[in-house]
Structure 1
Amino acid sequence: MATVKFQLEPLTCPSCVHKIEKALNKMDGVEEAKVLFNSSKVKATFHEETVSAEKLQETIEKLGYPVID
């Protein structure tokens, strides 16, 4: 199991948090995904055999939330 953290551009509404968490937590291999609204950070714990950190980042960005390196 692995954990990854992503810094997002500032989130503008609490519903953004729910949207990202819901999408990530539905993915196969994701154990838990949490989004911190105030700091615009995502922390996800996942099974590397099933899903990659790159796929998680891709999912976040497809929702319209750019990840900052």
Structure 2
Amino acid sequence: MTASAPTLKTTTLRSDEFSCPSCIQKIETKLTGLDGVESAEVKFSSGRIIAQHDPQKVSVRDLVEAVAEVGYTAKPSAI
């Protein structure tokens, strides 16, 4: 029996607190370090954080809390 690959969800968060390029590295490293996050990309100019994750392992709330742990406020975006 083979295990099926997890169904990934793409979640976009927004934050208007980015002030320097090092913010990108901190957030991406924190998010990709979570079990269940496949990728994370911070769009500095638009204030977006795009994460691909397994919703069975990592919730949107977990993503928001992880961003908060490195010092930034983020919230789910409709876009």
TM over 0.5: yes
- Structure 2: runs of 5 or more not aligned: 1-7
Deviant stretches of 4+, over 6 Å? none
Deviation for aligned residue 1:9: 1.6
**Greater share of strand:** 1
The 1-side partners of 2:75 and 2:35 are apart by 24
**Greater share of helix:** 1
2:41 aligned with 1:30: no
Count residues in correspondence.
Answer: 69
Q: How does 1:3-18 map to 2 (within 5 A)?
A: 3-18=10-25
The aligned amino acid for 1:45 is Q
Q: Report the secondary structure of 1:55's partner residue.
A: helix
Q: How does 1:1-69 map to 2 (within 5 A)?
A: 1-68=8-75
* RMSD of aligned residue pairs (Cα, Å): 1.2
Identity of aligned residues (%): 35
TM-score by length of 2: 0.80
- Structure 1: runs of 5 or more not aligned: none
Cα deviation 1:19-61 (Å, max 9, x = unaligned)? 0000000110001100011111100000011111110111101
The aligned amino acid for 1:53 is V
